[in-house]
């Protein structure tokens, strides 16, 4: 995998809240941090990293290009602005955040611009987020096979996205799961809770361990030190084949993120 298995998400975290979360995460041992232009927190994350004293070479920084910046003449300048805010000369991974609304900017245009940013050394790897199989096919056609590092998608026990995941695995594209805990809904599931009790761990650890054992990267966020620490331990938890099979039965196609102005025709 190119993407570190367990990273720190920062969606919806702003101002001092995100500074504290990133600072605590870095203290606990997180080294992968995921943000986006639209989150409005890149500068604060840059500050938290600078204050932490953790060398840049130890970090894996991901940000995402917002839809307003997809045009060929805007993408690289917007990425350079993100780099300025994050106080670094490169990202480890830069993603296209959502497909262009109504196809306003062709996939070939923004993927070619993103590949040029990679060629210039502004980002080590490139990828996409919220892309369907059809959109991934267009993206691969634009930049060539083996270039797209990951597709970051909503994926949790209630939305297991197996068809899309199968396509990605066929093409060597890492699966990054966001919303792995399903807004906390999954943590209330009786099956998840029963498995957690069996292992004397939290339901969040069980859910993250499930995704990690399937070979996915996860980027949970939290503002609480104990949750950040607990989430980090999910990588050490091993679920049995029977438990993995049980969790597989929770699939119900429940999508929690599908903004009308952005969402493609999902697989």
Active site residues: 39
pLDDT of residue 154: 98
Q: What is the mean pLDDT of residues 36-40?
A: 98
Binding residues: 97
Q: 86-145: per-residue pLDDT in tens?
A: 999 999 999 999 999 999 999 999 999 999 999 999 999 999 999 999 999 999 999 999
Query: Cβ-count burial of 229 within 10 angstroms (0-12 exposed, 13-18 middle, 19+ buried)?
Result: middle
Mention every residue, 6+ apart, whose C-beta is less than 8 A from residue 205. Answer: 196, 199, 230, 231, 233, 234, 237
**DSSP letter (8 states) at residue 59:** -
* Domain boundary assignment for the chain: 8-183+216-236
| Distance separating alpha carbons of residues 130 and 24, to the nearest angstrom | 29
pLDDT of residue 110: 98
Binding residues for substrate: 97
| Distance separating alpha carbons of residues 120 and 37, to the nearest angstrom | 20
CATH class of 8-183+216-236: alpha beta
Q: 4-13: per-residue pLDDT in tens?
A: 999 999 999 9
Q: What is the pTM of this model?
A: 0.96
Q: 148-205: per-residue pLDDT in tens?
A: 999 999 999 999 999 999 999 999 999 999 999 999 999 999 999 999 999 999 999 9
Contact in structure between 211 and 155 (CB atoms under 8 Å): yes
CA-to-CA dists, residue 101 to 67, 73, 79, 81, 165, angstroms? 8, 18, 20, 23, 23
pLDDT of residue 44: 98
Pairing of strands 60-65, 8-9: unpaired
pLDDT of residue 28: 97
pLDDT of residue 189: 98
- Axis crossing angle, helix 225-232 with helix 203-213, rounded to the nearest 10: 40
| Distance separating alpha carbons of residues 247 and 95, to the nearest angstrom | 29
Q: Which helix (H) or strand (E) holds 43?
A: helix 42-52
Q: 49-95: per-residue pLDDT in tens?
A: 999 999 999 999 999 999 999 999 999 999 999 999 999 999 999 99
| Distance separating alpha carbons of residues 94 and 114, to the nearest angstrom | 8
| Confidence class for position 256, pLDDT limits 50, 70, 90 | very high
Q: 207-255: per-residue pLDDT in tens?
A: 999 999 999 999 999 999 999 999 999 999 999 999 999 999 999 999 9
Which backbone phi and psi does 122 adopt, to 5 degrees?
-75, -20
pLDDT of residue 76: 98
- Axis crossing angle, helix 75-86 with helix 107-119, rounded to the nearest 10: 50
Residue 197 tokens read as 């009790």
């Amino acid at each position: 995998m190119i993407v570190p298995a367990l990273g720190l998400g920062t969606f919806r975290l702003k101002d001092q809240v995100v500074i504290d979360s990133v600072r605590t995460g870095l203290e606990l041992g997180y080294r992968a941090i995921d943000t986006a232009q639209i989150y409005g927190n890149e500068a604060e994350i840059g500050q938290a990293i600078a204050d932490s004293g953790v060398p840049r070479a130890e970090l894996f920084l991901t940000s995402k290009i917002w839809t307003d910046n997809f045009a060929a003449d805007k993408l690289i300048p917007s990425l350079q602005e993100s780099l300025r805010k994050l106080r670094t000369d490169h990202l480890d991974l830069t993603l296209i955040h959502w497909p262009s609304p109504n196809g306003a900017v062709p996939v070939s245009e923004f993927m070619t611009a993103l590949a040029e940013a990679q060629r210039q050394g502004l980002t080590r790897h490139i990828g996409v987020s919220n892309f369907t199989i059809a959109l991934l096919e267009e993206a691969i056609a634009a930049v060539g096979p083996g270039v797209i590092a990951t597709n970051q998608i909503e994926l949790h026990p209630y939305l297991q996205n197996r068809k899309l995941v199968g396509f990605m695995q066929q093409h060597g594209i890492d699966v990054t799961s966001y919303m792995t805990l399903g807004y906390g809904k999954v943590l209330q599931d009786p099956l998840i809770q029963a498995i957690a009790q069996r292992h004397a761990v939290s339901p969040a650890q069980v859910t993250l361990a499930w995704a990690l054992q399937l070979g996915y990267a996860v980027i949970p966020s939290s503002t609480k030190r104990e949750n950040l620490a607990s989430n980090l331990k999910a990588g050490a938890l091993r679920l049995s084949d029977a438990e993995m099979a049980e969790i597989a039965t929770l699939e119900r196609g429940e999508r929690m993120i599908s903004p009308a102005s952005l969402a493609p025709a999902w697989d």
